[in-house]
């Protein structure tokens, strides 16, 4: 079995999606409702499949589930003690690795079976609204990539300045001193 999920929270609002994959079936739970469908059906639902892939990326160990008495992030239902360790996104767009309470019973003991067809329409009617988490995740990644690019640009500019400074210095030194300096090996920065 594989367990994954994400959790977004701020002071007034939270949202989550939990996935439990067992063979070719997948259990999906939101704060509104839950359903068990085939993995192929999940892949055919572009929106939910995106959240599944995101939950995989945010869950460090997909087979790790444990009982948690304290320190779990479970503001919506304190009876849920079976936890998934996942990256929780807060209102400041910061990810924090934490224990997220997900289940009232140990899901490793579950035997998944397909939900009745009449539950499909209800689930998909309520779950097709746009969750904020993907927007936050994309914004967070853009910020991280921009910061890394800025650091790289600063390093390139510094190296360029050093090369130009050395070239300028070499151009004004007498030829014999410049030749001696150019033969000295300098360790890379």
Interval 57-86: pLDDT, tens: 888 888 877 787 765 665 556 666 777 877
* pLDDT for the residue numbered 121: 78
Domain limits for position 58: 2-131
Q: Which residue has the higher pLDDT, 96 or 141?
A: 141
Q: Which residue has the higher pLDDT, 65 or 157?
A: 157
Strand intervals (E) in 14-142:
14-22, 25-30, 34-38, 66-67, 72-73, 82-90, 95-103
Q: pTM for the full model?
A: 0.63
Instruction: Say yes or no to pLDDT of 26 above 90.
Output: yes
Give the H/E segment covering residue 6: strand 2-9
Question: Domain check: are 149 and 99 in the same one?
Answer: no
**Token pair of 33 as six digits:** 């409702």
Question: Domain check: are 26 and 76 in the same one?
Answer: yes
Question: Domain check: are 164 and 78 in the same one?
Answer: no
Comparing C-alpha atoms, which of 26, 9, 7, 37 is closest to residue 107?
Answer: 26
Question: Domain check: are 118 and 146 in the same one?
Answer: no
- Distance between CA 137 and CA 126 in Å, rounded? 22
Phi, psi for residue 138 in degrees, rounded to 5: -65, -45
Question: Domain check: are 157 and 88 in the same one?
Answer: no
Instruction: Say yes or no to pLDDT of 186 above 80.
Output: no
| Residues comprising the chain, all counted | 189
| Assigned domain for 189 exists | no
Question: Domain check: are 27 and 108 in the same one?
Answer: yes
Q: How many domains does the chain have?
A: 2
Question: Domain check: are 82 and 34 in the same one?
Answer: yes
- Distance between CA 155 and CA 49 in Å, rounded? 39
């Amino acid at each position: 079995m594989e367990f994954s999920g994400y959790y977004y929270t701020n002071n007034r609002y939270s949202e989550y999606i939990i996935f439990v994959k067992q063979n070719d079936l997948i259990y999906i739970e939101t704060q509104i409702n839950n359903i068990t469908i085939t993995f192929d059906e999940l892949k055919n639902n572009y929106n939910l499949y995106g959240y599944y892939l995101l939950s995989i990326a945010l869950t460090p160990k997909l087979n790790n589930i444990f009982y948690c008495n304290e320190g779990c992030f479970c503001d919506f239902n304190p009876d849920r003690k079976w936890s998934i360790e996942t990256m929780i996104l807060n209102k400041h767009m910061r990810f924090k690795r934490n224990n997220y309470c997900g289940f009232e019973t140990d899901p490793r003991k579950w035997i998944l079976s397909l939900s009745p067809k009449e539950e499909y329409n209800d689930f998909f009617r309520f779950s097709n609204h746009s969750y904020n988490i993907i927007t936050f995740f994309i914004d967070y990644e853009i910020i991280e990539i921009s910061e890394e690019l800025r650091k790289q640009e600063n390093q390139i500019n510094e190296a360029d300045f050093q090369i130009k400074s050395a070239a300028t210095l070499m151009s004004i030194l007498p030829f014999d001193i410049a030749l001696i300096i150019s033969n000295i090996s300098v360790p890379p920065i």
